[in-house]
Structure 1
Amino acid sequence: MSKTTAQPGPRDRTKAAVSRSAVVGAIFLMATSAIGPGFITQTATFTAQMGAAFAFAILVSILIDLAIQLNIWRMITSSGKRAAQLASSAVPYSGVLLSVLIVVGGLAFNIGNIAGGGLGLNALLGIDPKLGGLITGVLAIGVFLFKRAGKVVDAVVLVLGLGMIVLTCIVAFVSQPPVGDALRQSFVPDSISFATVTTIVVGTVGGYITYSGAHRYLDSGRTGPENAPAVMRSALSGILVTSIMRYVLFLAVLGVVASGVALDLESQVANPAGQAFAAVLGDAGIRIFGAIFWAAALSSVIGAAYTSATFLSAFSKKLGGGWPLQLATVCFIVISLAVYLVVGTAPATLLVFVGGFNGLILPIGLTIFMYIGWFKPRLLRTDAYPKWLLIIGTAATVLTWYMAVQSVGPIFAMIGIGA
């Protein structure tokens, strides 16, 4: 008698599709969260100041990102727990502390992301920035009102991420940057600015961004140590997408700077990235900048709201997933949008304060996770966590503590300490 192999039924195929969607969503959620309006502005500013030497700062940020994300993705998915729950399992109440820091920081930066959406639509369509911010916030809310919000999030961040890469590649090609010089200075820079490296790392890895991809990956159901190889491949894919966007954006602006165009970095209405795109393609460049800036803002609003909401499960298990988590995410965006509409944007002092917070969140969280890897691997459902990951993760933790000392300076200055 011949044996027949059972074919997957409709339910199995649906689960597989949801799982694949969550994996792709995790990759692009991490990538688009790291490429927000702030990063675009910082890249244009630092490239105008440092030229090709800024390539070194980008490379260092990518290497630190690699050490951090490989560990965070591996630990969270191996344990099958979100970051706050895993942290509290190792150090009581540490997850609550981490959650408070991330929710406060994510809320403040989401106000800035919505403001960035307003500026993007202003450049793209010429509409009032406040109306543009409202449209951005409402669209982000709409994403989480769908019954299957997870799949919608995955599709939106995928389209926005690919759109940003394609449009930026067009500008980079037209601007004709000195690629050879940029490549050389990625490894042997003419000058090194550790302040710049600190700013880029904190802005693209710190806060909620550290956990966005890993938390979304949990929804795929592919958890446990047995899925570690697939997790590592996905994390590497996310870092690759992020790295491509970082370098392409840098090259687009570098081409303009290298041609002799001086970007305005001093005035209150300075928009170095918009100026660079306009210098390459004129009015079309402004429109392309608007599209990229808006896509970066909308994807960052989605990423910040979703990831911050997942940390609320530290206070209530009901918020661990499903419709309660979607409602919490919607409330998060509504609060951010309401503050933006009243204030106009995130107050500069608030952004500086939360920027310092982001610098603190990163090493605090990493220290807890490195402690788990070294001393409590059983929480990761294994007897021994890979030593090479612990070594690069510990090195990154030491570096981020140094960066934290640099980033808390503005906080102390704001509250009158050490001024």
Structure 2
Amino acid sequence: MKETSQSTPTPTPVTEKKRSKFSVAMGAAFMMAMAAVGPGFLTQTAAFTGQMGANFGFAILLCIIADIVVQLNIWRIIIVSGKRAQVLANEVVPGLGYVLTALIVIGGFCFNIGNIGGAGLGLNVLFGIEPKYGALIAAAAAIIVFVVKNAMTVVDRTVQCLAVIKILILIYILSVTTVPVATAISHTFMPTQVNFYSIVTIVGGTVGGYISFSGGHRLLEGGVKGRENIKYVNEGALTGIGVASAIRIMLFLAGLAVVVAGHTLNPANPAASIFQIAAGNFGYKFFGLLLLAAGMTSTLGSTFTSISFLNYSQNKESWVNKYHSALIITFILASTLIFYFVGNPAKVLIIVGALNGMILPIALAILLVAAVKKSIMGDYKHPKWLLVTGWIVVAFMAYAAFQSFASIKL
């Protein structure tokens, strides 16, 4: 089929070796998944499991469904058009892209404070390093990953290795607990309590804000664009959703096992409670490793995606491409310094997750409008089932966000 997209080649601001499209798609998949599975993800999942018990499974189910709809829509629209999300938004309504950029970059920056802080806390658990100094070490490591030769390849491999570590840790924790599988399944499909705030928060923390666009922008940076590459959109998006969902479910089941056994999670650090109760001090050290991995992967994801939203030009000489490394370093250092001087970001992570959930219907609606504009997409026909389910997610998340906001007691 003849390609009709009018976009010009998208430059890669960071040096990257020529790689297969499948390899780039897997890099995008893990970029998206591990951007989602950060310290906020751990805190949100553990906190809501402690509060809601098995009923939280229903929120996870809705989250997975929303993930599939959101990611398949956004990735496909970005790749077929060959344009970044903020450029598409500007073509829908002039100036709208700058609004979207502000929402995404501010949200990504706030999350990154928690990401860096989480990595610092992980080093504290593992080695007793004071969290603020651990954050400095984590920030330095993240900067090194971004500025080395073939940086995006290094970022992809780093994220994938850390993903394996996360999964192995959770498999171990599940192996030493008694998981109430029947209870989890029954309440997942027939909940006795529905908490809209939990739905908005975990959807926002998994696929809201910058996370929605991390995979699509990563594919674009790797040179994968055009309708002939839709298969890589499907492979990448579904792989990323599968990995993130598997980790969410395993952490939920581990937390549920602890709660059902009669234990109370520490509200100051609910995720740590799960590991410590399940496997003692050894489990607590494993939590430290998981937190370090989560903080690092989400730092890489939020930094990459947030900076990609500053680039509106296809020109390799654009100021964003020219000062790309400086922007990366500034973004990471600024968020690190805020954590260094302000401290514990745990509550901020949950609040920002909820805000990202409120941003999601706005961002998705913009791209769904772009998907049907011939001036943007040429003669490409976006699948009706993706359009319909996309608008359903927009409506549901807008409603859930309103209900969540209305329930907040000031």
Superposed CA offset, 1:54-96 (max 9, x none): 1111011110111111100000011111110111122211111
Tell me: CA distance 1:262–1:347, structure 2 relative to 1, closer, same or farther (3 Å).
Answer: closer
Which residue pairs with 2:301 in the alignment? Answer: 303
Runs (5+) with no aligned partner, structure 1: 1-13, 414-418
Match of 1:15 in 2: 18
Aligned CA distance change for structure 1 residues 153 and 364 (closer, same or farther; 3 Å): same
Measured at CA, do residues 15 and 261 of structure 1 come closer, stay the same or move farther in structure 2, by a change above 3 Å?
same
Alignment partner for residue 285 of structure 1, among 277, 283, 291?
283
Paired amino acid for 1:401? A
How far apart in 1 are the matches of 2:298 and 2:43?
Answer: 14
Q: Report how far residue 323 of structure 1 moved.
A: 6.0
Equivalents in 1 of 2:319, 2:388: separation in Å? 32
CA contact (8 A) 2:24 2:219 kept: yes
Structure 2 residue 333 is the aligned partner of structure 1 residue 334: yes
| Alpha-carbon shift at residue 119 of structure 1 (Å) | 1.2
C-alpha contact 2:196 2:404 (8 A) present in aligned 1: no
**Corresponding residue number in structure 1 for 2:384:** 387
Provide the identity percentage: 44
Following the alignment from structure 1 to structure 2, what is the Cα–Cα distance between the partners of residues 293 and 354? 18
Counterpart in 1 of 2:50?
48
Correspondence for 1:373: 371
Q: Name the aligned partner's letter for residue 78 of structure 1.
A: V
Q: Closer, same or farther in 2 for the Cα pair 1:16/1:199, shift >3 Å?
A: closer
Change over 3 Å in CA distance of 1:244–1:64 after alignment to 2:
same
Aligned twin of 2:153: 151
How far apart are the structure 2 equivalents of 1:21 and 1:39?
26
Alignment of 1:128-167 (within 5 A): 128-167=130-169
Aligned to 2:107: 105
SS in 1 for 2:356: helix
In 1, Cα distance between the equivalents of 2:345 and 2:172?
31
Structure 1 residue 229: Cα displacement: 2.3
CA shift in 2, pair 1:197/1:356, >3 Å = closer
Q: 2:401 — aligned with what?
A: 404
Residue 20 (structure 1) shift: 4.0
Partner residue in 2 for 1:248: 250
Instruction: Tell me whether 1:314 sits opposite 2:312 in the alignment.
Output: yes
CA contact (8 A) 1:278 1:284 kept: yes
Select 1:208's aligned residue among 204, 207, 210. Answer: 210
Q: Distance in 2 between matches of 1:324 and 1:186?
A: 48
- Cα distance change, pair 315–100 in 1 and its aligned pair in 2 (3 A): farther
Residues 340-360 of structure 1: CA distance to partner in whole angstroms, max 9, x if unpaired?
222234595x66775564234
Partner Cα distance (1:254, 1:312) in 2: 41
Please list every run of 5 or more consecutive structure 2 residues that lacks an aligned counterpart in the other structure. Answer: 1-16
1:198 Cα deviation from its structure 2 partner: 1.7
**How far apart, CA to CA, are the structure 2 residues paired with 1:219 and 1:316?**
11
Query: How many residues are matched?
Result: 394
Q: Structure 1 residues 358-367 or 60-69, which shifts more?
A: 358-367
Provide the rounded CA distance (Å) in 1 between the counterparts of 2:119 and 2:318: 28
Shift of 1:371: 1.1
The SS at the match of 1:196 is helix
The 5 Å alignment of 1:199-278 reads 199-265=201-267, 270-278=268-276
Q: Distance in 2 between matches of 1:406 and 1:108?
A: 23
Where do 1:165-180 residues align within 5 Å? 165-180=167-182
Instruction: Kindly indicate whether the alpha-carbon contact (under 8 Å) linking 1:118 and 1:133 is maintained by their aligned counterparts in 2.
Output: yes
Shift of 1:276: 1.4
- Two-structure CA RMSD over aligned residues (Å): 2.4
- Contact 1:44 / 1:250 at 8 angstroms: preserved in 2? yes
Confirm or deny: 8 A CA contact 2:174 2:250 kept in the other structure: yes
Which residue type is aligned with residue 129 of structure 2? Answer: I
Equivalent residue number for residue 5 of structure 1:
none
Distance 1:90 1:37 in 2: 34
Q: 1:190 to 1:280 in 2, by over 3 A?
A: same
Q: TM-score, normalised by structure 2?
A: 0.90
How big is the shift at 1:395?
Answer: 0.5
Matched with 2:38 is 36
Contact 2:204 2:358 in 1 (8 A): no
Q: 1:409 to 1:138 in 2, by over 3 A?
A: farther
Residue 4 of structure 1 corresponds to which residue in structure 2? Answer: none
Task: Output the amino acid matched with 2:387.
Answer: L
**Residue 320 to residue 369, structure 1, CA distance change in 2 (3 Å):** farther
Contact persistence 1:357–1:408 (CA under 8 A): no
